[in-house]
Amino acid sequence: MNEPSGHLPTASPAAAVPPPAVPPPAGCPAHETAVRLGGLEYQQTPAELYRELRRRYGAVAPVLLDGDVPAWLVLGYPEVSYVTAHDDLFARDSRRWNQWEAIPVDWPLMPFVGYQPSVLFTEGAEHQLRASVITEALEVVDQFELAQWCRRIAGLLINAFAGSGQAELMSAYAHALPMRAAVQMCGMPARGTDTEELVRDLRISLDAGEGDDPVAAYVRVQERIRRLVKEKRAVPGADVTSRMLSHPAGLSDEEIVQDLISVIAAAQQPTANWIGNTLRLLLTDDRFALNVSGGRLSVGQALNEVLWLDTPTQNFIGRWAVRDTTLAGRRIRAGDCVVLGLAAANTDPQIWPEGHVGAENAAHLSFGNGEHRCPYPAPMLADVIARTAVETLLERLPDVVLAVEPAELAWRPSVWMRGLTALPVRFTPVMQ
């Protein structure tokens, strides 16, 4: 149904071993009329589908994931806020799922739900500790220095296609830049054979193409990050890895490996699609004239509008009910899977009664909410990376335009990420 691309993958299909099964809820009546997530119509115009689901089911819809596995999709802004704020009721450890018996080991969503002992799946005091180690290591990242790295990385990527007068920006730019920025934050050079291999393997394990072996790539990523941790243990530097290692919490090397992979993976896909979706908006919407003299709305406004209207992590899987409860009148059983409908919540008519969606503030749920939200200061770092990527491209290629009609731009066939399959552009070739 949908490719296993999405935010925060945690394990290769083979690496994720389902925990002992709890019997699935027998014939939940709500799911007899559930909607299958996915399908082309969904991918291209999800906003319409969310409207329809809301009309039919209200704020919480019974849905079927790949292989017709039942789950709940939370569509309402107050309801997503409630679920994420009550981690005692809707928690992150996927081992409590009551559907494991029905899930094959090679299930496409396994990388996102297969339990791993990382920050993503830990709970309570342990999660607070793991998250604080990440937060404190990220807090020290100098945003001016990060912007400088990003400009340098952007320059090198643009140099590779500037002379040709054309490019496919998703692969040549939007995906490549945040990956390199994240790797550099963690203490590896943005370029070099080792880094190139890690970047390639991360891409394959996060977003496998035809002929790729995501399991083998993920094993190589783990090996490389283990080596990085060992190197930084021996010779610390001014980087996120070294700061995590020297944190007084004293996490083990293996815990740090798991959390570093989570950080790099979490930084990659959503930031890449944030860049791509913003470039698309700038290139297709007259309110954002691309040259500086004609510009009416800024890059900052475009970045924020995307978070409201085309948020990169459109649905996030998820939370698992700790005990029987109700949500928006639905009976949720212990162990049910709850998918956070972040895009649907951002466009909830309850918060936009006038029908106009989007504000200049950051009250959207695009970075999640509550205990497991995207950890401070990651959203700010992501903003630096995305803003620098967009601004540098526009500065270097001031007459860049789409090379296809806007209607020809296709969205990725993913229920989880909102991003383009390709963004072909043309511009006056720049000789270096």
Q: Using CB atoms within 10 Å of the CB of residue 158, give its burial: 0 to 12 exposed, 13 to 18 middle, 19+ buried.
A: buried
Strand 316-321 and strand 90-91: pairing? antiparallel
Q: Is residue 332 a contact point for ligand HEM (CB under 6 A)? A: no
Q: Which residue has the closest beta carbon to ligand HEM? A: 368
Interface size with ligand HEM, residues (CB under 6 A): 29
Q: Of 53, 71, 119, 339, which lies in the binding site for ligand HEM, with binding defined by CB under 6 A?
A: 119
Nearer to ligand HEM, 151 or 373 (CB): 373
Nearer to ligand HEM, 343 or 403 (CB): 343
Tokens of 348: 């909830």
Q: Of 173, 288, 316, 411, which lies in the binding site for ligand HEM, with binding defined by CB under 6 A?
A: 316
CA angle 267–269–270, rounded 5-degree value: 75
The 10 Å Cβ neighbour count of residue 250 is 10
Stretch that binds ligand HEM, among 33-41, 44-52, 306-314, 393-401 (CB under 6 A): 306-314
Q: How is 238-281 classified by DSSP, letter by letter? A: SSHHHHHHTSTT---HHHHHHHHHHHHHHHHHHHHHHHHHHHHH
Strand partners for 425: 167, 402
**Phi/psi at 402 (5° precision):** -65, 145
Residue type, 82: Y
Among 212, 208, 157, which Cα is nearest to 180's? 157
Tokens of 154: 């952007």
Give the 3-state secondary structure of residue 108: coil
Q: Is residue 120 a contact point for ligand HEM (CB under 6 A)? A: yes
Nearer to ligand HEM, 150 or 393 (CB): 150
The C-alpha atoms of residue 283 and residue 14 are separated, in whole angstroms, by: 41
Q: Is residue 366 a contact point for ligand HEM (CB under 6 A)? A: yes
Q: Is residue 367 a contact point for ligand HEM (CB under 6 A)? A: yes
The C-alpha atoms of residue 170 and residue 276 are separated, in whole angstroms, by: 6
Q: Is residue 279 a contact point for ligand HEM (CB under 6 A)? A: no
Cα dihedral 64, 67, 70, 75 sign: negative
The C-alpha atoms of residue 71 and residue 276 are separated, in whole angstroms, by: 29
Tell me which H or E stretch contains 106.
none
Residue with structure tokens 């140099």?
159
Q: Is there a contact between 57 and 32 (Cβ–Cβ < 8 Å)?
A: no
Shortest Å, Cβ 408 to ligand HEM: 25
Stretch that binds ligand HEM, among 63-71, 330-338, 361-369, 412-420 (CB under 6 A): 361-369
Q: Residues 126-165 vs ligand HEM: string with x where CB under 6 A? A: -----x--x-------------------------------
Q: Is residue 392 a contact point for ligand HEM (CB under 6 A)? A: no
Tokens of 155: 């320059």
Stretch that binds ligand HEM, among 11-19, 37-45, 266-274, 348-356 (CB under 6 A): 266-274
Q: Which of residues 47-86 bind ligand HEM (CB under 6 A)?
A: 84
Stretch that binds ligand HEM, among 42-50, 94-102, 294-302, 372-380 (CB under 6 A): 372-380
Q: Of 109, 202, 208, 382, which lies in the binding site for ligand HEM, with binding defined by CB under 6 A?
A: 382
Stretch that binds ligand HEM, among 35-43, 268-276, 325-333, 423-431 (CB under 6 A): 268-276
Q: Of 4, 76, 375, 419, which lies in the binding site for ligand HEM, with binding defined by CB under 6 A?
A: 375
Nearer to ligand HEM, 146 or 397 (CB): 146
Nearer to ligand HEM, 144 or 235 (CB): 144
Q: Is residue 10 a contact point for ligand HEM (CB under 6 A)? A: no
Residue with structure tokens 């949720």?
332
Residues that bind ligand HEM (CB under 6 A): 84, 119-120, 131, 134, 262-263, 266-267, 270-271, 274, 307, 311-313, 316, 342, 366-369, 372-375, 378, 381-382
